[in-house]
Chains A and B, each alone.
Chain A
Amino acid sequence: MQYMLMVYVDEAKWPAMSKAEQEQGLAAYGAYIEALKQADVLRASGRLQPSSASTTVRLANGRPQVLDGPYAEAREQLGGYFLIDVPNLDAALSWAGRCPGAAHGVVEVRPIWSMTA
């Protein structure tokens, strides 16, 4: 079953970290991705640009309205995602618990709609 692990982090914290801490953080994600690959559960992953690079679009009165910035103004923003394929929710939660993002932000775990079901 596929699950999306969505990593929400406080964007203000990253620039405040020392170079060494940033490198350590990135290396932790690198190792995490390596472990996901080793277990053959990783389907896709990506790190997002900060929400300052975000643009939001919606139709207002039938016309596209384009807004600068993220959809939700919150301290913690979606910073990246992992799409994994594991047998059940408990396995997905176990991987979410190992995600470096779980230590300094939150990881939301959501099942993907199954097209065959």
Chain B
Amino acid sequence: MNGPAGDGAARDTAELAARRSYGRLVAFLAARTRDVAQAEDALADAFAAALADWPAKGCPSNPEAWLLTVARRKLVDGSRRMRTGEAAAGQLLVLAQGLEAMEAAPDIPDRRLALMFACAHPAIEAGIHAPLMLQAVLGLDARLIGSAFLASPAAMGKRLVRAKEKIRQAGIPFEVPDHAELPARLQAVLDAVYAAFTAGWADPAGLDQARRDLAAEAIFLARIVSELLPREPEIHGLLALMLHAEARRPARRGGDGEFVPLDEQDTALWDRRMIGEAEGLLRQARSLGAIGRYQLEAALQSAHVHRCRTGRPNWEAVVHLYDALAAFLDSPVVALNRALALAEWQGPAAALDAMPDVETDRRLAGYQPYWAARAALLSRTGARRQAHEAYEIAIGLEGDPAVRRFLQRRQALLGA
């Protein structure tokens, strides 16, 4: 122990430990029992104990080990109270072995990746993968997660509890899959990380602090995966994709808070350091020799950066990148973006022909970017009345007031 620390210092140390090690500790505590909720409760008790003890007694030299020891005792106590007979004996043996292992090796093995694979297991409903990871690995609360994923806090809380119950009862393993199985299962983890990022990205104004943090948390999750699986190219692709998007955040709004589309953004506001890191990651991914969805999406982001740096658009290359992406992803969004790139290469009429049709793909009916893109292309071909109608639907589907005003200005410019 160091000397007595003030309340502030103790809180800072606890917060730092929480930020750096929350997921590591939950993963380690739950690895044997597979009981994530129980591990979270024990850890919450340990943090509370830390905040009570550390200000008076000083911060421990290894806060993580201290927290782990206290949390383990809570687990053993809880287990003693709750279980009887043989089950209790087995449980206690498992816990005691864990304690010994921990004392023998002060470096807590990093099982966060295994925890993420458990959270993104195919037996768990796909829509809850990202929220579950945010809670189990980063300790975010259900209220914040519910808000970012547009679900009621109570409903999100219940779904999280149910998912953790399933991990425990169904025997979902805490392990990184075998090499043969890894690519397919890794995809679910990456998709969940990306879903967390897009939930945070959906608030471009950055007015909602909680959501902005969510994008940063997703990048943090991706960094964990990339550190633990450095030979997997897609994780570097995903990290590059998110950094490219995040780098442009300061340029997405004008000084008056108004929405600024990508092709009108002041590139001087883009974060060079993040772009540099993204480009490096993309090169690293390419050197590993297996292309995938996220690398292609990152390459597309990179193409935008290239255009702004050299002033020379290469729309043909962009269209081909989208063609390649379509091979990985049956998504109307990809088809839509491809059409927009095609408009720059071969004109708006060709793009409208190539666009997916809402009659054949009902997923597009409620998708704002589809209607906004359609409206923009129609106005370029001179079909002002149809463009006006498409803008109307896009405006009605948009939730962000600044984007809505932007679309309204575009609609007004038609003069129809």
Q: Is the CB of B408 within 8 A of A27?
A: yes
**A104→B401 CA distance, assembly (Å):** 9
Check: A16 CB closer than 8 A to any chain B CB: no
Flag the segment in B105-113, B135-143, B390-398 that touches A. B390-398
* Shortest Cβ distance from residue B189 to the other chain A in the assembled complex, whole angstroms: 23
Q: A38-B365, A93-B152, A94-B150 are in contact. Are A100 and B401 (CB under 8 A)?
A: yes
Cβ contacts under 8 Å, A33 to chain B: 396
Residues of B364-396 at the interface with A, using a CB-CB cut-off of 8 Å, are: 365-366, 392-396
**Could you count the A-B residue pairs with CB atoms below 8 Å apart for me: how many are there?**
56
Q: Is the CB of B150 within 8 A of A97?
A: yes
Q: Is the CB of B150 within 8 A of A90?
A: yes
Q: Give the bracket for the number of chain A residues in contact with chain B.
A: 20 to 34
**A102→B155 CA distance, assembly (Å):** 20
Smallest CB-CB separation from B154: which chain A residue? A89
**A89→B365 CA distance, assembly (Å):** 20
**A36→B395 CA distance, assembly (Å):** 11
Smallest CB-CB separation from A93: which chain B residue? B150
**A28→B408 CA distance, assembly (Å):** 8
Chain B interface SS verdict (over half): helix
Q: Is the CB of A31 within 8 A of B395?
A: yes
Cβ contacts under 8 Å, A93 to chain B: 150-152
* Shortest Cβ distance from residue B147 to the other chain A in the assembled complex, whole angstroms: 10
Q: A28-B404, A103-B401 are in contact. Are A34 and B150 (CB under 8 A)?
A: no
Candidates A35, A90, A97, A102; contact of B396 at CB < 8 Å? A35
Smallest CB-CB separation from A28: which chain B residue? B404
Cβ contacts under 8 Å, B392 to chain A: 30-31, 34
Q: Is the CB of A98 within 8 A of B396?
A: yes
Query: Which of A's residues lie within 8 Å of B, judged by CB?
Result: 24, 27-28, 30-36, 38-39, 89-90, 93-94, 97-100, 102-104
Show 27 A/B contacts (Cβ-Cβ < 8 Å), sorted by A: A27-B395, A28-B395, A28-B401, A28-B404, A30-B392, A31-B392, A31-B394, A31-B404, A32-B395, A34-B393, A35-B396, A35-B397, A36-B396, A38-B365, A38-B396, A39-B365, A89-B151, A89-B155, A90-B152, A97-B150, A98-B396, A98-B398, A98-B399, A99-B399, A100-B401, A100-B404, A102-B399
